[in-house]
Amino acid sequence: MMRAFFFAAGFAMLSLPALAATQAEAEAALAAAQTTEAQAVAAKAAWTSTEADLAAARKALAAENWDAAKAAADEARSQAQLSIDQANEQKTSWRTAIFH
């Protein structure tokens, strides 16, 4: 009985960080997303969808909803990276779309 309790308590503690983001994690995720998006903007490759995710992350952060903030920031970062990849790929492949 006791063993089961400790086991459950330990498991809960272990899994806690994965379930709930801390403020520090949410802030770090946002900072990372902003850095990647700044690179996308500089490359003239940015997407409005990334900007929307960033705005959602900032709003959630202000509302102290760390989970939502981190999730939106992570999404923004992955979108920003995709937009940079798109621009790099298109640097050469745009020519294949010329119809004339």
Residue ranges in contact with other proteins by CB under 8 A: 41, 44-51, 79, 83, 86-87, 90, 94-95, 97-100
Q: What is the largest CA-CA distance in the chain?
A: 77
From the CB of 52, what's the least distance to other proteins, in Å? 9
Query: Integer distance in angstroms from the first to the last C-alpha of the chain?
Result: 77
Asked whether the beta carbons of 76 and 50 are under 8 A apart, the reply is yes
From the CB of 4, what's the least distance to other proteins, in Å? 49
- Collapsed DSSP state (helix, strand, coil) of residue 46: coil
**Closer to other proteins by Cβ: residue 37 or 73:** 37
From the CB of 86, what's the least distance to other proteins, in Å? 7
